[in-house]
Amino acid sequence: MSPEFPEIVSSLPARFRAEKAEGVSAVIHFDLSGEGWPFTVIIEGGRCTVEKGLVGTATCIIRTDADSYVQLEKGELNPQAALLSGRVEVSNLMEVMRFTRLFRRYEESDAPGTATMRPEKEGPLKGLKIVDFTRLLPGPLATMLMADLGAEVIKIEDPDAPDYIRSFPPFIGNDSAYYISLNRGKRSVAVNYSVEEGKEIVRRLIREADVVIEQFRPGVMDALGLGYAACAQQHPRLIYVSLTGYGQTGPYAACAGHDLNYIGYSGLLETTGTKEAPVIPGGQIADVAAGSYMTVNAVLAALYARERTGKGQHLDVSMLDCVIPMMALQIASYYGSRKEPSRGDFSLSGAIANYNVYRCADGRFVALGALEPKFWENFCDLVGKPEWKTRMLNSGADMHALKEEVAALFLSKTRDQWIQLCEGKDVCLTPVLSIAELEQDPHIRARQMLVPDERYPQMKLLGRPLKFSASGGSVSWSAPALGADTTEVLRAAGYTPEQIAAFRKRNIIR
């Protein structure tokens, strides 16, 4: 039997969060195999008791082995991965999700622990300190881009409800590939900021920061006492970013939403696809282009303003607001002609033959971007179709006929044969690559846009998209484990080892 198993089971009542158990009644059977013994956890009347053996009528049965149970309690095994792999079976998933929220995570020791030492940051944003409350995709990608440029990013997570993306498959080992790809170069601090002691820890970190970035619905941070007004009172130079779907004001401000909803409101989705129906883009346009990139833009603009004025400010970044400029040409076309274009009728969205996507003989695709006359004429000469040159000006049925002729031509060769034929010619013809092909492309490799992770060599991470001639990028490390940097960050903020140990003992930090 693992020496930790009895200790972990016996610690359950001490780790029970009675404040979250109002109205909860549950009997959970842990039917364990291996070197351990089955036990029952009973929640009733705001109290938790543990009994050896399977006692009473279970509201949920959890079947696993003792070693897996220990690993789950210590955070060494991802619960989602354990369920998907079959290492853990549960009879009632909703019941077990509710049950697990009632307990603080087990800690092996109340000692402060060993600090995680990180290399010194370099890059154009060296010295910039960001306190990051974001999760999922838009905010974490934005803060990772700034970490790559040298910023110190302190990722704040609730120990009992961390960034949800940590639980999303696919997994490499016990870690989510999504989490790994969006969080390199950051420090992880796990602190329960729903309680006053945790809030004070966060306030101290914010007082020493240049930037705060949060991604909750409007009003959430204010309710916690950590909103812009409260923070700016103590730190007038603070730049505080609120990244949301619909912004801090307006009729939709409190509404939930995702990338698809924002591009739906923006007109982008309506103009993407065929005449039959809109098509969902393959990438998260609003999340990344309107969320991540515009957050970085907003921070850099506010830093420049602070250099001139000495004052910080609140930045309201709405993904819907920021995706609308991606429709600049389509909106201009509408107001210039007062004609609502049908889907697929805009010249850059599939309406013309010389700017389109075509299937080849092997079922793969090429992208023809011969928009200007010189490129189209070069293409026509190359494929022996000089009679097509003037037809790029056609419209209606004539343009439809030309698209069909060009489509038929591309079916005569494979994708790679077409690319080889057009190599070195100014015709703007490129392959439509799959994700699996990206890392083999010579240009993408030369630009180092997919790089191995130091902890997971089989995992390719996004390279740094910005190249600087003088200031370069920062030394980065793999996405941190939950709370990996809590001790070091709190020591740097002035907390003593004894204070840190006390916080850990009271489950304020992890």
| Helices within 235-342 (DSSP H only) | 259-266, 285, 293-309, 319-323, 328-337
Q: How far apart are CA 362 and CA 366, in angstroms?
A: 11
Query: Quick one: tokens of 44?
Result: 């009733």
Report the 3 state secondary structure along 151-189: CEEEEEEECCECCHHHHCCCEECCEEHHHHHHCCCEEEE
Q: How far apart are CA 350 and CA 369, in angstroms?
A: 11
Strand order in the sheet with 152-157: 186-190, 152-157, 129-132, 211-214, 239-244, 313-318
Give Cα 140 distance to the centre of its chain: 5
Q: How far apart are CA 325 and CA 267, in angstroms?
A: 11
Give Cα 232 distance to the centre of its chain: 27
Residue 121: closest CA among 505, 508, 474: 474
Give Cα 212 distance to the centre of its chain: 17
List, in sequence order, every residue forming a beta bridge with 64; answer none if it has no partner.
32
List residues with catalytic annotation.
Answer: 258, 287
Parallel/antiparallel/unpaired status of strands 355-359 and 365-369: antiparallel
Residue 372: closest CA among 396, 335, 347, 407: 347
Local structure of residue 377 (DSSP, 8 states): H
Q: How far apart are CA 25 and CA 230, in angstroms?
A: 38
